[in-house]
């Protein structure tokens, strides 16, 4: 038996909601899991790059038991008192890796759902969310990868994940600006301080509350205020040359609501109201050209559906 699951890309944080807010995008990875029929054949992991407009080396992605998909599946098997033996895992990737678009969360979620289906649905979504978050380290990408849409989530002390859907105004458009280099999430996290000033924590608390209110009331002016952050983006600016310049220059463009880093970066998400597209692209391209960075642009709606079994 073979089970395949298609899981969307995601963008985490969305400005103030560090490790809490996330949304899904219509860009996908597909994970297939099957039990092989030959005893002793062990674990086979194949990775296929299906993104035609991006060249990348996938040799550095583990294809043994160190692969994050296998680790997630192993935790699920252990949860029911079993050990995975003969498994074939195939990962077809369309989501750019190490850009802040949730590529790891996507394959973790896809692998868990596929394995759970293969095992006869031995557990429920709550357990799968918890296992996926344990592997990923935070639920901000995991929740929208599972459920789609815009999500707020929290990893609780008992290991459970609390998540809720947030509304989105379809008049607010998304432009994802993807630079031609990768940024490892561990590196991006390493520049964050272990402690932050009380004023910064309060600042983000207020902006997170504004964000939720702006979404429920479709308040564009409030959303402009809400997308600001003092917990992670100021520290990551040095890892994303041009981020500060792009953010400041776009403040003056008619139609731009806000600019945020996609997760740990280096991709940038621009939220706008449907106008000023050419000017936005010109500013981003010219700025990154100065830093010898090539840019690709994706204008995408929010993916309202999460992971699906094919």
Assign 44 a pLDDT band (cuts: 50, 70, 90).
Answer: confident
**The pLDDT of residue 39:** 63
Closest listed residue to residue 40, CA positions, set 88, 85, 73: 85
Question: Model confidence over 8-34: pLDDT tens digits?
Answer: 999 999 999 999 999 999 999 999 999
CATH number, domain containing residue 187 = 3.30.70.890
**The pLDDT of residue 42:** 74
Contact by Cβ (8 Å): 226, 211:
yes
Same domain, 133 and 107: yes
Average pLDDT over residues 70-81: 93
Our count of domains for the chain comes to 2
The Cα angle at residue 147 between residues 146 and 153, in degrees rounded to 5? 85
For residue 120, what are the CA distances in angstroms to 2, 74, 85, 101, 297?
Answer: 12, 16, 17, 30, 41
**The pLDDT of residue 56:** 44
Same domain, 184 and 122: no
Residue corresponding to tokens 């990408």: 141
Assign 45 a pLDDT band (cuts: 50, 70, 90).
Answer: confident
Same domain, 53 and 113: yes
Report the chain's mean pLDDT, rounded to a whole number. 92
Distance, CA of 215 to CA of 12 (rounded, Å): 16
Is the omega angle on the peptide bond into residue 140 within 30 degrees of 0, that is, cis? Answer: no
Same domain, 146 and 20: yes
Residue 15: domain span? 2-166+303-309
Average pLDDT over residues 250-258: 93
Question: Model confidence over 199-251: pLDDT tens digits?
Answer: 999 999 999 999 999 999 999 999 999 999 999 999 999 999 999 999 999 99
CATH number, domain containing residue 66 = 3.30.230.10
H or E stretch covering 164:
strand 161-166
Question: Model confidence over 101-147: pLDDT tens digits?
Answer: 999 999 999 999 999 999 999 999 999 999 999 999 999 999 999 99
- Provide the β-strand partners of residue 89: 33, 45
Same domain, 123 and 253: no
Q: What are phi and psi of 105, to 5 degrees?
A: -60, -40
User: Would the pLDDT of 62 be above 90?
Assistant: no
Same domain, 71 and 213: no
Same domain, 188 and 116: no
Assign 41 a pLDDT band (cuts: 50, 70, 90).
Answer: low
Same domain, 210 and 149: no
Question: Model confidence over 151-185: pLDDT tens digits?
Answer: 999 999 999 999 999 999 999 999 999 999 999 98
Residue 197, judged by CB atoms within 10 A of its CB (0-12, 13-18, 19+), counts as: exposed
Same domain, 131 and 196: no
**The pLDDT of residue 51:** 61
Q: Say if pTM beats, i.e. exceeds, 0.75.
A: yes
Token digits of residue 306: 């999460």
**The pLDDT of residue 53:** 39
Same domain, 160 and 239: no
User: Would the pLDDT of 271 be above 90?
Assistant: yes
Same domain, 72 and 99: yes
Distance from chain centroid for Cα 65: 23
User: Would the pLDDT of 38 be above 70?
Assistant: no
User: Would the pLDDT of 55 be above 60?
Assistant: no
Same domain, 34 and 147: yes
């Amino acid at each position: 038996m073979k089970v395949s699951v298609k899981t969307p890309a995601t963008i985490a944080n969305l400005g103030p909601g560090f490790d809490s807010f996330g949304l899904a995008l219509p860009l996908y990875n597909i994970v297939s899991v099957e039990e092989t029929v030959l005893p002793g054949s062990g674990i086979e992991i194949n990775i296929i790059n299906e993104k035609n407009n991006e060249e990348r080396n996938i040799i550095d992605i583990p294809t043994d038991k160190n692969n994050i998909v296998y680790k997630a599946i192993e935790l699920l098997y252990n949860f029911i008192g079993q050990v995975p033996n003969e498994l074939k895992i195939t990962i077809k990737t369309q989501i750019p890796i190490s850009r802040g678009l949730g590529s790891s969360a996507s394959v973790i979620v896809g692998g868990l759902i596929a394995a759970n289906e293969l095992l006869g649905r031995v557990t429920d979504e709550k357990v799968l969310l918890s296992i996926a978050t344990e592997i990923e380290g935070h639920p901000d990408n995991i929740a929208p990868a599972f459920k789609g849409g815009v999500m707020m989530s929290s990893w609780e002390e008992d290991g459970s994940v609390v998540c809720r859907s947030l509304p989105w105004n379809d008049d607010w458009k998304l432009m994802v600006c993807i630079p031609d280099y990768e940024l490892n999430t561990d590196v991006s996290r390493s520049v964050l301080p272990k402690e932050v000033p009380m004023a910064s924590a309060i600042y983000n608390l207020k902006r997170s509350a504004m964000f939720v209110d702006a979404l429920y009331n479709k308040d564009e002016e409030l959303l402009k205020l809400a997308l600001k952050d003092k917990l992670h983006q100021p520290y990551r600016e040095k890892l994303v040359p041009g981020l500060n310049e792009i953010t400041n220059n776009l403040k003056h463009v008619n139609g731009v609501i806000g600019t945020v880093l996609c997760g740990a970066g280096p991709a940038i998400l621009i939220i706008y109201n449907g106008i000023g597209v050419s000017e936005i692209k010109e500013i981003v391209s010219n700025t990154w050209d100065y830093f010898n960075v090539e840019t690709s642009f994706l204008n995408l709606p929010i993916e309202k559906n999460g992971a699906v079994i094919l």
